[in-house]
Amino acid sequence: IGASIGIALRPDHGTTLTELMRAADAAMYHAKARGRGRAEHFSETLAAEMADRSQLESDLRDAVGRDQFTLVYQPQIACNDGRIVAAEALLRWRHPRLGLKLPGSFIKRAEETGLIVEIGEWVIETVADTIARWSRMGIEQRLAVNISPRQLDHAQFFRRLRDAMRVANAPARLLELEITETMAMHCSDDVIEAIAALRADGASIAIDDFGTGYSNLARLRDLPIDRVKLDRSLIEFVADKAQARTIAQAVIGLIHGLGCEAVAEGIETQAQAEVLRIIGCDIIQGYAVAQPMAEDDFIAWARDLPRQAAAG
Ligand code: C2E
Ligand code: MG
Ligand code: MG
């Protein structure tokens, strides 16, 4: 048996029992985060972190009701002919005081507090509306959405998703769900069944951030999936290091062996794109193709794409 100890001192870290317990608790979590089996004192830094966290939580609560979220779209293009096969919808937060915030700065907190369920519902409804609106404009575009573990665990998730698609009049075949490798390895049989049903209706399923978690290959084989997205860390050095290329090629072979398409994300250079095309990757996404864009910019970019391709 081991122990992680948090220490708070009166009166520096509080005067009431509640304050002292809260401070000691924060110090104890800090001790755990620093490797467990150690003792940590409460500090000014920890106090500031606690204040930041609770500020972020209350800002997040307001954000949902105040229409502060928006989506940007990043194209995924086929390696063989350069056509757009999908666009990934990525969340942005127009924070009233701090400006535009990236998901890295708030998704984790949204997950911890459960607010991700509400935010995720907004994302799905917005994506369903966007699919339908673009269809009316003559743009048939598959949109991919990122799903958090907390959302999948929520009993109503699949029903709400179907409702949103039906209400917006958006066909399932234009929706793609991205679930992370770690999530895919841990979700329950019920969730897998619901994913399979959605896929049977025409939606496609992608495994995100592949190569960052631990995959059980037998389980991967049995999952109802269409695409596997290689994490940036797997493809970062494909243009510079023979070993990185060999590994990426083997992983792409594995993905094809599962009957799936391989998508490489975070492609930043033409050299990476070229290597990936040669080693058999099907789809690429990244700054080398285009940045995530606001809706209007994405539409303009997509309209312009055939002309760019013709110009070489
Ligand atoms: P992800 O799903 O793996 O998304 C790819 C991330 O890589 C995006 O970051 C994208 O902007 C970034 N990226 C694209 N091309 C490049 C490139 O060439 N180089 C580099 N270095 N990065 C590139 P972003 O938008 O900051 O999102 C980060 C993560 O937040 C996403 O990773 C996803 O896990 C999560 N996320 C985004 N939107 C949502 C959402 O609506 N719901 C949930 N639950 N999570 C979301
Ligand atoms: Mg993603
Ligand atoms: Mg990813």
Looking at residue 305, what is its pLDDT?
85
Closest CA to 137 of 247, 304, 262, 300: 300
Chain CA centroid to CA 289, Å: 19
Residue 229 CA, ligand 3 centroid: distance in Å: 7
pLDDT in tens, 1-19: 899 999 999 999 999 999 9
Grouping H, G, I as helix, E, B as strand and the rest as coil, residue 274 is helix
In tens, the pLDDT along 138-152 reads: 999 999 999 999 999
The rounded distance, in Å, linking the Cα atoms of 161 and 175 is: 10
Place of tokens 């631990």: 214
Task: Show the 3-state SS of 142-191.
Answer: CEEEECCHHHHHCCCHHHHHHHHHHHHCCCHHHEEEEEEHHHHHHCCHHH
Percentage of the chain lying above the pLDDT 70 cut: 99
Q: Residue 155's pLDDT band (boundaries 50, 70, 90)?
A: confident
Return the pLDDT at 5. 97
Mean pLDDT in residue range 262-283: 97
Beta bridge partners of 101: 93
Atom of ligand 1 nearest to the CA of 287: 18
Atom of ligand 1 nearest to the CA of 116: 44
**Residue range 19-42, pLDDT digits in tens:** 999 999 999 999 999 999 999 999
If you average pLDDT over residues 81-87, what whole number do you get? 95
Give the span between the Cα atoms of 208 and 236, in whole angstroms: 16
Q: If you average pLDDT over residues 247-271, what whole number do you get?
A: 97
Cα dist. 40→4, 8, 19 in Å? 8, 9, 17
State how far the Cα of 93 lies from the Cα of 99, in Å rounded to an integer.
8
Residue 205's closest CA among 234, 242, 175, 233? 175
Q: What is the mean pLDDT of residues 211-236?
A: 92
Structure-block tokens of residue 166: 């039906």
Ligand nearest to the CA of 90: 1
Distance (Å, whole) CA 167 – CA 182: 31
pLDDT at 191 over 70: yes
pLDDT at 307: 72
286 lines ligand 1 (CB under 6 A): yes
Instruction: State the DSSP code for 16.
Output: S
Q: Span 83-95, mean pLDDT?
A: 97
> What CA–CA distance (Å, rounded) separates 145 from 160?
14
Rounded CA-CA distance 158/167 in Å is 14
**179 touches ligand 1 (CB under 6 Å):** no
Going by C-alpha positions, the residue among 262, 137, 279 that lies closest to residue 206 is: 262
Tokens of 208: 């995100």
pLDDT for 301 equals: 96
Q: State both tokens at 176.
A: 């793609």
What is the overall mean pLDDT for the chain?
Answer: 94
Give residue 8's identity as a one-letter amino acid code.
Answer: A
Ligand 1 and 272: CB distance under 6 A:
no
- Using the predicted structure, report yes or no on whether residue 168 has a pLDDT greater than 70: yes
CA of residue 74 to ligand 1 center, whole Å: 9
Instruction: Output the pLDDT for position 165.
Output: 97
Nearest to 60 by CA among 28, 94, 89, 20: 94
Task: Report residues near ion ligand 2: CB below 5 Å.
Answer: 146, 178, 208
The pLDDT score that the predictor gives to residue 309 is 67
Among all bound ligands, the one having the nearest atom to the CA of 123 is 1
153 near 116, Cβ under 8 Å? no
76 CB within 6 A, ligand 1: no
Q: Is 284 in the pocket of ligand 1 (CB under 6 A)?
A: no
Predicted local distance difference test score (pLDDT) of residue 312: 55
Contacts of 39 (CB under 8 A, 6+ apart): 4, 5, 6, 7, 31
Distance 270 CA to ligand 2 centre (A): 21
Pocket of ligand 1 contains residue 149 by CB under 6 Å: no
Task: Tell how far the Cα of 41 is from the centroid of ligand 2, in angstroms.
Answer: 38
Phi, psi of 186 (to 5 degrees): -115, -5
Can you tell me the mean pLDDT for 291-299? Answer: 97
Ligand 1 close to Cβ of residue 90 (< 6 A): yes
For residue 178, give the ligand nearest its CA: 2
| Residue ID of nearest Cα to ligand 1 atom 45 | 146
pLDDT at position 311 is 67
Q: Which atom of ligand 1 is nearest to the CA of 178?
A: 2
Q: Which amino acid is at 290?
A: A
**310, pLDDT greater than 80:** no
Amino acid 131: pLDDT:
98
Pocket test for ligand 1, best of 69, 70, 90 (most atoms within 8 A of CB): 90
